[in-house]
């Protein structure tokens, strides 16, 4: 189930041109199953119409504290009290100052003052205003109070100024909201390290030995682990996929680089999900210059074995280890052999021929308790279902 499903999100929209981007966020959150209550400030309505948010969320847009559906004294605090998260986007300099000062002079400030839910602010303003001592102090106050204040992006602003002050894109806001909601999830407080993609082993400055791993599964596992509350380190081989928001991304190229990134990341890990397709061999050395054709002569590459990264961590018993096995034959026997040989707590096997380049995948899960399977399904839902299965086994492992 999507972490956003059934969640109550209060979305405070303030008066900045970036308000138009928040319409997309309201739509994405609603489509993911959240109940989104939009509060628009007076100034916000000068940039985007309330009808836009009403249509996208399917709920009345709120603004005037004195015209709430729930009338009377409780009405103005009810929204904050029942929210799972309160988001202010775009958060203007004026709004940040008023929240920092603890004011409650309109519905949005009152809601924030009255809520116990996590609060997320996405500043958007002119770069000079963002850098002003007053705003810097206000942001520090809010962070000190436990609020999450996102860093604005750098770039060209609406009024053609270039600098730091642009509101992050809707998918970044959504990722930050997911991470906040996940805090109370089953992986809350745990550090999960995930490797993804294939490695590139250089032959010369322009060529490499690689494999067909796309990284999709590892990236989807990372997003799901974040949604369930984990602090995620994603160690990724080269890929073009957009990384999930609110995970620490470490980009590597070769197996040896992945080995050293892993050594750093697992120092305080609770779980390692070794999804990367690590090249088993690398050229003994990469040529410094591009290798040239020499008539009809062929080229022989001398390959040496790469270390087995996860097997090298076999004696590290302080974190839960999950490996993968894509096999073309003897799936169960081969995967079981790897589980033992590599000192894993669990291995996820699949048929390489049936799954590479295909939209769907069926998975076989093996641990010392037995064998289970996940039916063939689209890779995105398979990743979420797999992570839930991993979490269930991790929780059992913690008890031992
Ligand atoms: N793995 C690893 N280091 C390597 C190779 C593989 O850590 N050098 C990990 C993979 O990330 C995966 C598991 O080991 O979790 C199994 O990978 P696989 O390529 O199936 O195993 P190999 O030991 O390379 O076996 P094979 O002979 O089938 O290639």
Does residue 272 have its Cβ closer than 6 Å to ligand 1?
no
Same domain? For 64 and 126 the reply is: yes
Q: Within a domain: residue 89?
A: yes
350 counts as catalytic: no
pLDDT tens figures, 71-129:
554 466 888 999 999 999 999 999 999 999 999 999 999 999 999 999 999 999 999 99
User: How much is the pTM?
Assistant: 0.90
CATH of the domain at 360: 3.40.50.10300
CA 153 – CA 392 distance, rounded (Å): 38
Does residue 176 form part of some domain?
yes
Is 213's C-beta closer than 6 angstroms to any atom of ligand 1?
A: no
Q: How far apart, in whole angstroms, are the C-alpha atoms of residue 96 and residue 170?
A: 20
Per-residue pLDDT of the chain (400 residues; tens, 9 = 90+): 899 999 999 999 999 999 999 999 999 999 999 999 999 999 999 999 999 999 999 999 998 766 666 555 446 688 899 999 999 999 999 999 999 999 999 999 999 999 999 999 999 999 999 999 999 999 999 999 999 999 999 988 776 778 899 999 999 999 999 999 999 899 999 999 999 999 999 999 999 999 988 899 999 999 999 999 999 999 999 999 999 999 999 999 999 999 999 999 999 999 999 999 999 999 999 999 999 998 999 999 999 999 999 999 999 999 999 999 999 999 999 999 999 999 999 999 999 888 877 889 999 999 999 999 999 999 889 999 999 999 999 999 999 8
* Pocket mutation for ligand 1, best pick of 323, 336, 340 (most atoms within 8 Å of C-beta): 323
- Are the beta carbons of 121 and 47 closer than 8 angstroms? no
Question: Considering only CA atoms, which of 232, 230, 269 is closest in space to residue 247?
Answer: 232
Distance from the CA of 308 to the center of ligand 1, in angstroms? Answer: 7
- Total structural domains within the chain: 2
Q: Measure 340 CA to ligand 1 centroid, in angstroms.
A: 13
pLDDT given for residue 67 in this prediction: 67
Pick the catalytic residue from 71, 211, 306, 329.
Answer: 211
Q: What are the C-alpha distances in Å from 293 to residues 126, 200, 201, 297?
A: 56, 22, 20, 8
User: Does residue 304 share a domain with residue 219?
Assistant: yes
Task: Answer yes or no: are the C-beta atoms of 181 and 84 closer than 8 Å.
Answer: yes
| CATH code of the domain in which 140 resides | 3.40.50.1950
Kindly state whether residues 147 and 196 are assigned to the same domain.
no
Domain that holds residue 298: 185-398
What is the per-residue pLDDT for 69?
Answer: 62
User: What percent of the chain shows pLDDT beyond 70?
Assistant: 96
- Please indicate, yes or no, whether residues 41 and 152 belong to a single structural domain of this protein: yes
363 inside domain: yes
The verdict on 191 and 168 lying in the same domain is no
Tell me the pLDDT tens digit for each residue of 202-243: 999 999 999 988 899 999 999 999 999 999 999 999 999 999
- Among 156, 182, 208, the domain boundary falls at 182
- The residue contributing the CA closest to ligand 1 atom 24 is 280
Q: For Cα atoms 86, 92, 94, give the angle at the middle one, nearest 5 degrees.
A: 105
Domain presence at residue 107: yes
The answer on 222 and 135 residing in a single domain is no
What tokens does 5 get? 């499903």
Query: Which residue minimizes the CA distance to atom 12 of ligand 1?
Result: 324
Residue 1, in any domain of the structure = no
């Amino acid at each position: 189930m999507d972490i956003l499903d059934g969640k109550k999100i209060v979305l405070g929209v303030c008066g900045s041109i970036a308000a138009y981007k928040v319409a997309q966020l309201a739509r994405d959150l609603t489509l993911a199953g959240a109940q989104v209550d939009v509060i628009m400030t007076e100034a916000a309505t000068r940039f985007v119409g309330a009808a836009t948010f009403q249509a996208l969320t399917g709920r009345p847009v709120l603004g005037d504290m004195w015209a709430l559906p729930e009338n009377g004294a409780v009405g103005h605090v009810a929204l904050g009290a029942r929210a799972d998260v309160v988001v202010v986007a775009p958060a203007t300099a004026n709004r940040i100052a008023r929240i920092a000062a603890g004011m409650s002079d309109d519905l949005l400030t009152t809601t924030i003052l009255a809520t116990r839910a996590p609060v997320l602010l996405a500043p958007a303003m002119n770069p000079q205003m963002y850098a002003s001592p007053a705003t810097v102090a206000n942001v520090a106050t809010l962070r000190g109070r436990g609020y999450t204040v996102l860093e604005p992006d750098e770039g060209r602003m609406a009024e053609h100024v270039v600098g730091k002050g642009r509101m992050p894109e809707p998918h970044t806001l959504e990722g930050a909201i997911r991470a906040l909601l996940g805090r109370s999830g089953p992986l809350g407080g745990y550090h999960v390290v995930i490797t993804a993609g294939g490695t590139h082993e250089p032959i010369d400055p322009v060529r490499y030995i690689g494999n067909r791993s796309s990284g999709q599964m590892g990236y989807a596992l990372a997003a799901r682990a974040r949604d369930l509350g984990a602090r995620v380190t994603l160690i990724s081989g080269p890929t073009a996929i957009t990384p999930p928001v609110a995970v620490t991304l470490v980009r590597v190229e070769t197996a040896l680089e992945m080995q050293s990134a892993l050594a750093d990341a697992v120092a305080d890990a609770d779980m390692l999900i070794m999804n990367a397709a690590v090249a088993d061999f690398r050229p003994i050395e990469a040529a410094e210059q591009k290798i040239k054709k020499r008539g009809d002569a062929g080229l022989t590459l001398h390959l040496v074995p790469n270390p087995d990264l996860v097997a090298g961590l076999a004696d590290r018993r302080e974190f839960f280890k999950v490996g993968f096995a894509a096999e073309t034959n003897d799936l169960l026997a081969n995967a079981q052999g790897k589980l033992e040989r590599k000192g894993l707590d669990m291995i996820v096997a699949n048929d390489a021929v049936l799954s590479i380049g295909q939209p769907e995948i069926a998975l076989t899960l093996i641990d010392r308790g037995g064998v289970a399977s996940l039916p063939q399904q689209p890779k995105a839902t398979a990743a979420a279902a797999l992570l839930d299965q991993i979490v269930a086994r991790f929780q059992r492992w913690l008890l031992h």
